[in-house]
Structures are given as C-alpha cells and as structure tokens.
Structure 1
Amino acid sequence: MNRLVLLPLTSFLWLLSLHTVAAQAIPAKPNPTFPMGYIPGDVLFHCSGCKYPVYKNGDVEGMIRAIGENVRFPQHLQRDGKVFVQFTIDERGHVRNAVVKKGLQPGADSAAVQAVRLLGEFVPALDAQGRPIAVKQTVPVTFQLK
C-alpha cells in the first residue's frame, strides 16, 4: 500500500518551535556573518513586531491535513523521498508561485506542487506597522512506498 507522509517545514522559525522537523536542511559550514538560525530571504527574521501568516483552516496542522487530502500519489513512483515546494503567501493571504525547490521525480514533483496550489487562504503576514506583506514558505511533501 502506498502512503503519503507530510512533515511541516517553513522558512519561519516559529514553526520550528511548534514541531520537530526531521527533514530540515543544515548547511555544511556555518556562515559566521549570519546569526545562528538565520534563513536567507526570511523578511520577518529580525522583526520583533511582525506576525507570521496563519492558515485559516487549522493553522499548521490544518495546512498539513489539506496538503495530504489534495495530493495524488504518483502511479509510477520508484523510490521514497521528499519534494520541497516553495510558495509565496501574498498580501491578501493567497498562495502564489508554488515551485519545486528540490524534486524527487516528475510525477511526485507535480503532485506536490498541485496540492500546495490547492491550499485555501491564509491570514497574511503583517509587518511591524500592521500592514500585510508577502512572505515565502517551504513545505516538504514526503512520499513513501509500502
């Protein structure tokens, strides 16, 4: 029986504090010019008054559940693995620009991207002045053969 496993991972540090993530990428050599835990491109990293986006249908757990319900397991998948999908949550809370950052196989890649595109709305991220801003997230979708 084929099984799909979803693990939460975003480019936001708040999510890392909520869940243990087994598939987190760790650089081979630490870069001393950046603080520990810095993720390049995270516009909210140094912002103390900012708010991260929240999935409207159940926060992180709801997002994971929705991806699991939306994904179609590829018929000709030959090996286990993860597809890392990066997407933008725009100023209105919509998912935009879902792309594969690290792929597995073409069928799995397209299934993972399609599942992320079908996510519902988010409460958008807010800057320190309370204005909505666009931010990027990355989610790994793990495919497992049984």
Structure 2
Amino acid sequence: MKAKRNSIFRVAAVAMLCSASSLITSCNSDTHSDNADTTLTDTMNTMNVDSVMADTVNAAGLNPASKPAKKGVAMVSEPIPEETGEIKLDKDKVYNYAEVPPVFPGGQSALDDYIKDNIKYPSSAMESGIEGKVSVQFIVDENGHVYGTKVLSKPLGYGIEEEAMKVVNNMPQWTPGKVKGKSVKTYRVLPISFTLQ
C-alpha cells in the first residue's frame, strides 16, 4: 500500500514538474475588509491552480548513513484572477484584486527562485512522511512591504506552516498593486506545496 502511494506521489510530482509557473491573484469583492477572510477562503476553496513550479528543497538534519534521505519538493502557484468590472479607489481598503496587481521584484520566475532558495522542508515533517499544501495570505502595502501573514489552509504541523510563513515574512519589497494609478494595499495568497519523493 505504501509503495503504491509513493508511486502515485512520484507520478503526480513528475506531472507537476512539466507545468510552467504563473502569477495569479485572488478575485475582488465589493464587501468591506471584514469579509475579506471569508472571500479569500471561498476563493481558495474554488481556485483552479493553472500550473506549478517544483524544485528539490534542502532537508537539513537527516542522517543519510542511518536511512535513505527523502527529497522534499516545494511548489508555488497562485489563484487566477476573475473579471470584476470597475474598481473604486479607497485609500483605507485592502483590495482582494487591484487593476495592476503587486509584483515580486523580478516577476514570477524570481518568486519561484526565492521560494526554491529559501524554503527548507522541515526534517521532522520529512521523517514523519508529512506532505501537503500551505496557503499563506499576506498583504502588500502601498510601499510594497509584506505584512499581515496568516495560514488559510488546514494545518499540516511539524513546522511546515512556520517555515512557509517565515519565508513569506522575509520576502523583499514588492512593487505595490495599483487602482486608478494609485498604489494600494492588496491581499495576496501564495500556496506552497510540500511533497516527498
């Protein structure tokens, strides 16, 4: 049974490796920011992940002499934006969708590289065979600074959520999103998949 499950994960990982990554934003809602968590959760529940990027992640703390080391793979993608019509400018609002979305410095490929270079698959999670996706929500403010991080997905434990949030909290300054030509605060959701091979 375990061998069959490992084979399925390897086939899924190979299929995902063949995809290209894309930058996607969550859809806008005209509701107040009080309802933003519900809107983002609903968006995450119905999102269509178009493609993913995968790379092997460092697995510090394993002793290869005592047992074969497993490889951890981190994949990143974001939900696709939906057409929402005209967006009204409100300087105090945190937008779910901006006319011009925030951009990681260097674009999507630089974000992929940042995740690849900075995510460390927790050794306790690898040793326990823990896999899954962590969806981290954060806000990019008018100056491009990242704050307000929180995990939207069901907890996997073993330090996986903490690692994902640490990497998001340490991201460099983004180019902020814009509405009507003005920089605005914008929610972003970054799903990061942790897969063993």
TM superposition score normalised by structure 2 = 0.53
2:96 to 42, 46, 60: 42
Distance in 2 (alpha carbons) for counterparts of 1:106 and 1:89: 28
- Higher fraction of helix: 2
Distance in 2 (alpha carbons) for counterparts of 1:80 and 1:8: 17
Distance in 1 (alpha carbons) for counterparts of 2:117 and 2:187: 22
Which residue pairs with 2:191 in the alignment?
Answer: 140
| Residues 74 and 108, structure 1, Cα contact 8 Å, conserved in 2 | yes
Q: Confirm or deny that 1:63 pairs with 2:117.
A: no
Count of residues in correspondence between the two structures: 114
Q: Confirm or deny that 1:121 pairs with 2:173.
A: yes
Distance in 2 (alpha carbons) for counterparts of 1:6 and 1:119: 16
Which residue pairs with 2:123 in the alignment?
Answer: 75
Q: Which blocks of at least 5 consecutive residues in structure 1 are unaligned?
A: 15-33, 36-40, 45-49
Percent of aligned pairs with the same amino acid:
24
2:159 to 103, 107, 121: 107
1:85 to 129, 132, 136: 136
| Residues 76 and 192, structure 2, Cα contact 8 Å, conserved in 1 | yes
Runs of 4+ with >3 A deviation = none
Matched to 1:9, the amino acid is E
| Residues 89 and 136, structure 1, Cα contact 8 Å, conserved in 2 | yes
Q: How big is the alpha-carbon RMSD for the aligned residues of Structure 1 and Structure 2?
A: 2.1
Shift of 1:99: 1.0
TM superposition score normalised by structure 1 = 0.70
Distance in 1 (alpha carbons) for counterparts of 2:183 and 2:193: 31
Which residue pairs with 2:75 in the alignment?
Answer: 6
| Residues 122 and 158, structure 2, Cα contact 8 Å, conserved in 1 | no
Relative contact order: is structure 1 or structure 2 higher (C-alpha 8 Å, sep ≥ 6)?
A: 1
Which residue pairs with 1:22 in the alignment?
Answer: none
Shift of 1:101: 0.8
| Residues 82 and 143, structure 1, Cα contact 8 Å, conserved in 2 | yes
Distance in 1 (alpha carbons) for counterparts of 2:102 and 2:78: 14
Shift of 1:140: 1.0
Higher mean displacement: 99-108 or 112-121:
99-108
Task: State the structure with more CA Rg.
Answer: 2
Q: Which blocks of at least 5 consecutive residues in structure 2 are unaligned?
A: 1-69, 86-94
